[in-house]
Amino acid sequence: MSEHPRIGLAVSRRASAAAAGETLRRRFDFVPLAEADTVLALGGDGFMLRTLHQMLEGEIPARPVFGMNRGTHGFLMNEWRENDLAARIAAAKPIDILPLMMAARTLEGQVITRPAINEISLLRETGRTAKIAIEVAGRPAIDELVCDGVMVATPAGSTAYNLSAGGPILPLSANMLALTPISPFRPRRWPGAILPEDTAVTFRVIDPEDRPVSAVADQFEVRDVTEVTVSLDRKRPMTLLFDPDHALDERIALEQFETG
């Protein structure tokens, strides 16, 4: 990173983020996002995910992102401070994360692809349980999972929906993915699995017309799917920047001791 990086500013529509953005614009010179070396994102975790998706989808150039929390939880963000912005970015610890890629086939035969930073989930659409067959690395793993749903989560996303569903917390250095059932009925005691990150997982929906299932990549939903393949996308790594005392890998590790 250069001594004086060109910083682009991305601000969520939340009132607290908009006010912080105006404060920073009065103090610092920002460049358009297309010309930036680094992107400063003001908002919460949802806005950080949207910013990363804009990069993955080519709407803005892929650049390291330094987030400051002007949302709620802010797990992916640094603490909000209006001082020493350039110095903080220069001293920041880079954390590289790899997205997942979903290829979802619908009842109509359409194949829709979409990346995900946190997780890719299959969810029942009605009051009837979903029935899903699972293949891991091209081999049958579970012939019929009767459940509300199932997901594949990255280490970065393992403390989000995955943890709420009873899945494991994965350190960023683990190079693993979490395969986690959501309210499984049969096999009743199946806890899920931890897989090497290069493992492709294929889900086949059993009786998709009578028991419809949707696939969700982070916040993007595809309805009425029949088959979903999830794999790691090594070609498009994303870089998040963190204050050295607030790095994502350390925060994920400490989540294992969170009791509140």
User: Is the distance from CB of 243 to CB of 93 less than 8 angstroms?
Assistant: yes
Strand partners of residue 151: 121, 180
Of the CA atoms within 13 Å of residue 209, those in its CB half-sphere come to 2
Coil/strand/helix, residue 218: coil
Q: Are 38 and 55 in contact (CB under 8 A)?
A: no
Active-site position among 29, 37, 45, 210:
45
Beta strands in the chain (DSSP E): 7-11, 38-43, 65-69, 93-97, 100-106, 111-116, 119-124, 130-136, 139-147, 149-153, 176-182, 193-196, 201-205, 213-217, 220-222, 225-232, 238-242
Could you tell me if 222 and 215 are in contact, meaning their C-beta atoms sit under 8 angstroms apart? yes
- For CA atoms 28, 240, 252, 114, the dihedral sign is positive
Per the annotation, the verdict on 29 as an active-site residue is: no
In 10 A of CB 245, how many CB atoms? Answer: 9
Q: Which of 131, 133, 97, 135 is nearest to 117 (CA)?
A: 97
- Active-site positions read 45
